[in-house]
Structure 1
Amino acid sequence: MPVKVDDWMTSLLRELITVIRLVVADKRMLANQKYDTVREMVHTFQPKENWPYYDQVMGESFDELSYDDLREQYKKLLRSVRLQISMSRDYQGAIRHEATQVIGLLLFELIMMQAEHGAGQLMDELVEIF
């Protein structure tokens, strides 16, 4: 039986990367539509008792998240992915490779946001996680 490392989290990260790309491309309306899809994913894949936390963190639209909030949430997501990989006793190389690719894409997008917003400590903080 294949081992799955938090598939919903990988999908969530991919969708958030798309949202960031749309924001960087100045397509806010599309970004907010995509963000609604991400919020739906949370309600689909997370137990109902977790919804209030995600709803509070995510807000009603992407516009409600500040850069600092987004950075903090991504750091938490990265830690979660790293923890899932490290805790999986029977992980397969392909799963680890896929998770690493997603994390790499996410880091690239965060670096792009850092350049745009002039935040100085992001890379040091992300290196600490790994």
Structure 2
Amino acid sequence: MIKQLGDLHALPDETSKSVESLLFGKRVVVFGGIGRDHYWPLLRDAGVKDSDYRWYEGYKTISQARTAEIVGWCDLVVVITSYAGHLLLYQTREVLSKGQVLLLIHNSGVGTLRQQILEKFKKSD
């Protein structure tokens, strides 16, 4: 029955929301948001290794030099603007290099991050 419903496109395509391996081999930093563990399951599913993931609290001040060091280390920078604020946003923009991706998310939810990853990294069929 489920196969028949799937063949009729009556069931949602769960694979369309899958981030599996989209960030394989990438180093990721998240500035702000709820906490490291909040984003980790999604990033792990996307192929990020634990050693390639950093999270920094948005309410603490990070110097421009330290921001440059952190951003220089990674491939994907995520700024949760509702937590990290505009100061950190401007600091990260200043130090991005070619090939690095900056995602700006106001909502701290994982669903928003998932959607942005899909939009930026999913290959069109």
TM normalised by structure 1 equals: 0.29
Q: Which has the higher strand share?
A: 2
Q: Which has the higher contact order (CA 8 A, sep 6+)?
A: 1
TM-score using structure 2 length: 0.30
Which structure has the larger Rg over C-alpha atoms? 2
Between Structure 1 and Structure 2, the one with more helix by share is 1
